[in-house]
């Protein structure tokens, strides 16, 4: 038999929690000394303690835990519930990391307000280009909403082209079209030398040429591209232009480390 302190140490919980579990009828001690009132626990009660703690971590109330422990989930069921909870927590952590990245990017933009723009803007013409295109829908323009959509589009497009033995003939292009319902139509494109309809499951289209396009270059992770887009937008307005067509992001350099990425931002222009 263990004293309540030793049982708490073996079970990796606090003595206060063991007393609470006793008070609510979840885990009464195996024996209580009638003279001193000291609580004693058996090693066999560790199994029940483990289930109580695991179910609490799954987000269940102690009342729900009590109901679930009678007769109690089998070990396989409990492992499945823990795996589900772990997946939920990992998803939440990933979402929190994405939000933190967005906040940091937005803070960098705010810090640059009123400071001389770092972006060099060049106006040039862009020729028409034939591309293989894959499209999807994102809930908004936030990087955390765009990235999970466009990355699989590019990966799937690359795989399908490889299977069709069609070579990629230039840098990857992404462009986005807002919909009336607030969603964003996301397009992942790569230049190819192929005729439309050459491969049934691949859309091959011609992106139009533009005579005047304001361009700038962003170096680094795409998560920080917002500042470059905002500076380009200010330049367009300050110089009396307006946007004439969907803007494009052209990947000039890609490396396994996102810090090595080089992306050209292209904003087609209409009259002054």
Between 123 and 105, the more confident residue is: 123
Distance CA 189, CA 134 (A): 6
Phi, psi (5° rounding) for residue 257? -90, 115
Q: Is the pLDDT of residue 112 over 70?
A: no
Q: Which residues of 66-100 are buried (b: 16+ CB within 10 A; e: fewer)?
A: bebeeeeeeeeebeebeeebeeeeeeeeeeeebee
Look at residue 168 in the predicted model and tell me its pLDDT.
Answer: 94
Pull the structure tokens for residue 57. 């971590």
On whether the CB atoms of residues 69 and 51 are closer than 8 A, the answer is yes
Pull the structure tokens for residue 260. 């090595």
Look at residue 42 in the predicted model and tell me its pLDDT.
Answer: 92
> Could you tell me the pTM of the whole model?
0.62
Average pLDDT (224-250) is 87
Pull the structure tokens for residue 6. 């030793």
Q: Is the pLDDT of residue 79 over 90?
A: no
Helices (H), the chain: 4-11, 15-23, 45-57, 62-68, 75-111, 143-163, 225-238
Kindly report, residue by residue over 114-172, the tens digit of the pLDDT.
Answer: 554 556 899 999 999 999 999 999 988 877 788 889 999 999 999 999 999 999 999 99
- pLDDT bracket for residue 214 (50, 70, 90): very high
- pLDDT bracket for residue 105 (50, 70, 90): low
Q: How many CB atoms lie within 10 A of CB 244?
A: 15
Average pLDDT (31-53) is 90
- pLDDT bracket for residue 222 (50, 70, 90): confident
Distance CA 231, CA 206 (A): 29
Between 248 and 107, the more confident residue is: 248
Beta-bridge mates of residue 31: 40
Look at residue 113 in the predicted model and tell me its pLDDT.
Answer: 63
Radius of gyration of the chain (CA): 29
Q: Taking each helix axis from N to C terminus, what angle separates 45-57 and 75-111, rounded to the nearest 10 degrees?
A: 40
What percentage of the chain has pLDDT greater than the value 70?
91
Contacts (Cβ under 8 Å, ≥6 apart) of 99: 144
CA-to-CA separations, 193 to 129, 190, 204, in angstroms, rounded: 10, 10, 10
Q: Taking each helix axis from N to C terminus, what angle separates 75-111 and 143-163, rounded to the nearest 10 degrees?
A: 110
Pull the structure tokens for residue 199. 């491969």
Between 89 and 162, the more confident residue is: 162
Write the DSSP string, 180-218.
TTS-EEEEEEEEB---TTSSTTSEEEEEPPEEEEEEEEE
């Amino acid at each position: 038999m263990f004293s309540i302190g030793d049982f708490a140490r073996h079970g990796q919980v606090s003595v206060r929690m063991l007393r609470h579990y006793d008070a609510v009828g979840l885990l009464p001690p195996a024996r209580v000394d009638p003279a001193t009132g000291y609580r004693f626990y058996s090693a066999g009660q560790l199994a029940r303690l483990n289930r109580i703690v695991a179910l609490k971590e799954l987000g269940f109330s102690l009342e729900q835990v009590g109901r679930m422990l009678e007769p109690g989930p089998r070990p396989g069921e409990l492992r499945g519930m823990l795996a589900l909870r772990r997946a939920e927590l990992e998803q939440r952590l990933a979402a929190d990391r994405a939000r933190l990245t967005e906040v940091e990017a937005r803070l960098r933009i705010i810090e640059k307000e009123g400071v001389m723009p770092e972006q060099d803007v060049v106006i040039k013409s862009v020729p028409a280009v034939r591309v293989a295109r894959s499209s999807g829908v994102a809930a908004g323009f936030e990087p955390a909403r765009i990235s999970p959509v466009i990355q699989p589009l590019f990966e799937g497009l690359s795989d399908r082209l490889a299977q069709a033995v069609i070579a990629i003939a230039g840098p990857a292009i992404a462009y986005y079209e807002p919909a009336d319902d607030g969603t964003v139509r996301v397009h992942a494109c790569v230049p190819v030398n192929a005729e439309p309809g050459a491969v049934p499951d691949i859309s091959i289209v011609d992106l139009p040429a533009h005579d005047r396009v304001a361009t700038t270059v962003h170096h680094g992770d795409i998560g920080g591209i917002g500042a470059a887009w905002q500076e380009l937008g200010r330049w367009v307005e300050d110089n009396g232009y307006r946007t004439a067509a969907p803007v494009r992001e052209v990947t000039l350099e890609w490396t396994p480390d996102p810090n090595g990425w080089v992306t050209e931002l292209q904003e087609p222009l209409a009259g002054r």
